[in-house]
Structure 1
Amino acid sequence: MTTLTTKEIQKIEEYYYWVGFKSWIPFPKELNEKLFEVYGEEPVPYSWTEQDIYEGSRKIIFDYFRNHSK
């Protein structure tokens, strides 16, 4: 059973900071809420893999900053 936690969000924030997206940190509350809404609980009867969460959250994060940076 894999879900996204506050600690995992902090790791993701650190990753984006160190790869050059320093202006994205800390993630806005609205973005955190969206990530938890999608990956905070298992989608019964299915389950998330770490890869599902990584790829899905990456897409959500890039979409968020693409749409809110203008």
Structure 2
Amino acid sequence: MTAARRYHRAHRHLDVLQTYEDATGYPLGRWLATQRTRPITSPTSVPLPSPLPLPSRVRGWRVRRVCRW
């Protein structure tokens, strides 16, 4: 993560070739490619917040249905 921050600070992007290694020899290109292809998972122990209820009126305006599908 530190190598990616350094690269981004210097180049303003993270479009790194897969074969790129930084000055310390860290394979930043391979690490970024792995991060991009790794499936995103969320921990099951952390409860997700419940959605807020939608009010029928917001500051005096009526909430109307815009799309009629």
What TM-score results when the alignment is normalised by the length of structure 2? Answer: 0.26
Q: Which of the pair is proportionally richer in helix?
A: 1
Q: Which of the pair is proportionally richer in strand?
A: 2
Q: Between Structure 1 and Structure 2, whose CA radius of gyration is higher?
A: 2
Structure number with greater CO (CA < 8 Å, separation at least 6) is 1
What TM-score results when the alignment is normalised by the length of structure 1? Answer: 0.26
